[in-house]
Amino acid sequence: MASRIRIRVAGLGATLVVLFVAAGLSAAGMASAADGDSGGIGITVTVAPSDPATGAGQGGTGDSGGTSGTPGNSGGTGRTGGTADPTGAPAPGSTRIPADDPRIGVLNVSGLTSKFLWSPTPADSAVELSFVVRNVSKSTFDSTARFWVDTTFGSRLSEVRGIRIRALKPGETRTVRATLVGLGQWTVLHAHSTFTPPPSIDGTKVAAVSRDSFIFVPPLVAGGIGLGGASAFVLVKFLWFRRVFGVVA
Amino acid sequence: MVVSAMLLAFVLNVTVFSQVQHLVSQQQLSNEFREELAAGTAPVSEGDFNDHLLADGAPVAILTIPSLGVNEVLVEGTSSGVLKSGPGHRRDTVLPGQAGVSVIMGRAAAFGGPFAGIQELAPGDRFHVRTGQGDQVFQVIGVRYAGDPLPPAPTAKQSRLILETARGASFMPSGVAHVDAQLVDVAKPAGLRQARFAGLPPQALAMASDTSTLWALVFALQFLVAVEIGAVWAYRRIGAQKTWIVFLPLTLLAGLYVADQVTILLPNLL
């Protein structure tokens, strides 16, 4: 009898440990949700003023909505235009190269940065993708960008293409950012971007630049169901324990 | 039971214990390198202060990337076993800050994953490398994947630094990501260096595994099997309770030993 009690107490303890870990993960998720932007406003292309020296601001593009994803999946939403500052002050994420910086090549691109945006609605999860492009050539040029997110099995979840990046001036660094929605509860996401410059810059042939990254997302819905089930199990065990042994918590 | 112990130990080693190993190694390397800096004996070529070839794992520099929170002691060598301690300097290249091209490889996930975030470095970001020749400030040129065009080669007075790590999902690398950076100031003179790319051992290249310590894996497996046989014998002779007390730690130890040797066989940038 005593051994059975010990086993049950051990089981109860193990369940509590699992619950403690699950609650910790849930709290971390909630904290991230509080920090993230759940607006789900589609795409934002951050655009710098065309030439801070003259103060002539350059507005961003305001193209139509993104294309739909594969059947059954939602595509990326439409996007707002980049913000233009009439005062000529540099927009967030856009800078000029300092005079003493070394300039290498004609075009520099960073890796793809991703940030998952939590949503209380299971189907409305979103991810913010961004990369930085720097024009180190002597020419001003237009270019386009495309973002998309796949599952680990390769099926398309969301995509936005044809983002116009207008008038990237010599020495300008610009951040291209997009928010892709409708990602559901997939645990691992594979994000991609492609930056397509003109075929030639300053006489140098330039090809499209692709970047990718993986995003791990704790499954909140599955975790919540598990947490609820574990809570119910502990509650039932606790009531049984108290009824049988008369233990008062 | 042997297989399950090995699998459990392998997962624990790669995801948990490797991080602790990395922290301990970095602390020891930091102590050693700071002593060398204070004494003025930090290496400035492929040899140490006494002109002896630097051993694998010897500290050569401190890499600081403020925007990513990276502060790592760089070691000499790039094999999988060496990169357990921290990012490694490829032997055939000059030290960071010296005229020429320097290559630093770092892991993306296991053993602290010190280079996990380097793809987030944007063109124009700056970071520091402290060597025996002083504090070197580098500026990021950009990120490069296989097939992307190489930036123009540096001139005789320029110093280029290439950070390399695995790209793809954590613990499932799909290629190599390169971050090119350029020294902001004039390059320091490069010391004598006889190592050449053609002479590098295969395990020093990107994404290579290290099979030079397979013999240790064989001994580790023998140790694990011996422990399991002993556990079965003890279970019949002295009972379950005492067997668990004695052989559980031994099994874990043997499992971790095996897992550590298996981890070295994985790609060095993992």
Lowest pLDDT segment from A57-71, A179-193, B102-116, B229-243: A57-71
CA atoms within 13 A on the CB side of B22: 27
Lowest pLDDT segment from A64-73, B16-25, B28-37, B198-207: A64-73
- Cβ <8 Å between A133 and B151: no
Question: What pLDDT is attached to residue B31?
Answer: 97
User: A43 pLDDT band (50/70/90 cuts)?
Assistant: very low
User: A100 pLDDT band (50/70/90 cuts)?
Assistant: low
- Provide, as residue numbers in chain A, all residues whose Cβ is less than 8 Å from the Cβ of B158: 102
Residue B6 scores a pLDDT above 60: yes
Residue B50 scores a pLDDT above 60: yes
Lowest pLDDT segment from A2-16, A121-135, B203-217: A2-16
- Cβ <8 Å between A214 and B169: yes
Identity of the residue in B124, B149, B177 whose CB atom sits nearest the CB atom of A111: B177
- Cβ <8 Å between A111 and B124: no
- Provide, as residue numbers in chain B, all residues whose Cβ is less than 8 Å from the Cβ of A212: 167
For an interface test with A, give the residue of B141, B157, B161 to mutate (most A CBs within 10 A): B141
Handedness of CA A58, A128, B112, B197 (dihedral sign): negative
User: B127 pLDDT band (50/70/90 cuts)?
Assistant: very high
- Provide, as residue numbers in chain B, all residues whose Cβ is less than 8 Å from the Cβ of A132: 122-124
Residue range B23-38: mean pLDDT, rounded: 96
User: CB-based contact (8 Å) between B124 and chain A?
Assistant: yes
Interstrand relation of B172-183 and B159-169 (parallel, antiparallel or unpaired): antiparallel
Lowest pLDDT segment from A72-86, A111-125, B15-29, B183-197: A72-86
* Average pLDDT score, chain A: 68
Identity of the residue in B121, B143, B184 whose CB atom sits nearest the CB atom of A102: B184
Question: What pLDDT is attached to residue A95?
Answer: 64
DSSP A48-82: --SBTTTTB--PPP-PPPPPP-STTS--PPPEEPP
Segment B71-124, tens digit of pLDDT: 999 999 999 999 999 999 999 999 999 999 999 999 999 999 999 999 999 999
Identity of the residue in A101, A110, A113 whose CB atom sits nearest the CB atom of B139: A101
**In which residue are the tokens 């110093």 written?**
B159
Question: What pLDDT is attached to residue A217?
Answer: 81
Share of chain A above pLDDT 70, in %: 57
Question: What pLDDT is attached to residue A51?
Answer: 34
Lowest pLDDT segment from A46-55, A156-165, B229-238: A46-55
Residue type, A185: Q
The pair of structure tokens assigned to B28 is: 């020891």
How does B103-127 read in b/e, with b if 16+ C-beta sit within 10 Å?
Answer: bbbbbbbbbbbbbbbbbbbbbbbeb
Residue A33 scores a pLDDT above 50: no
Segment A133-153, tens digit of pLDDT: 999 999 999 999 999 999 888
What's the CA gap between B158 and A52, in Å, rounded?
A: 30
Q: How distant is the alpha carbon of residue B60 from its chain centre?
A: 13
Residue A74 scores a pLDDT above 50: no
User: CB-based contact (8 Å) between B222 and chain A?
Assistant: no
Question: What pLDDT is attached to residue A82?
Answer: 32
Q: How distant is the Cα of B269 from the closest Cα of chain A, in angstroms?
A: 16
**Could you tell me which of B178, B85, B180 has the C-alpha nearest to residue B127?**
B180
As for the ipTM of the complex, it is 0.82
Q: How distant is the Cα of B191 from the closest Cα of chain A, in angstroms?
A: 24
User: A170 pLDDT band (50/70/90 cuts)?
Assistant: very high
Segment B173-207, tens digit of pLDDT: 889 999 999 999 899 998 778 888 888 999 999 99
Residue B263 scores a pLDDT above 90: no
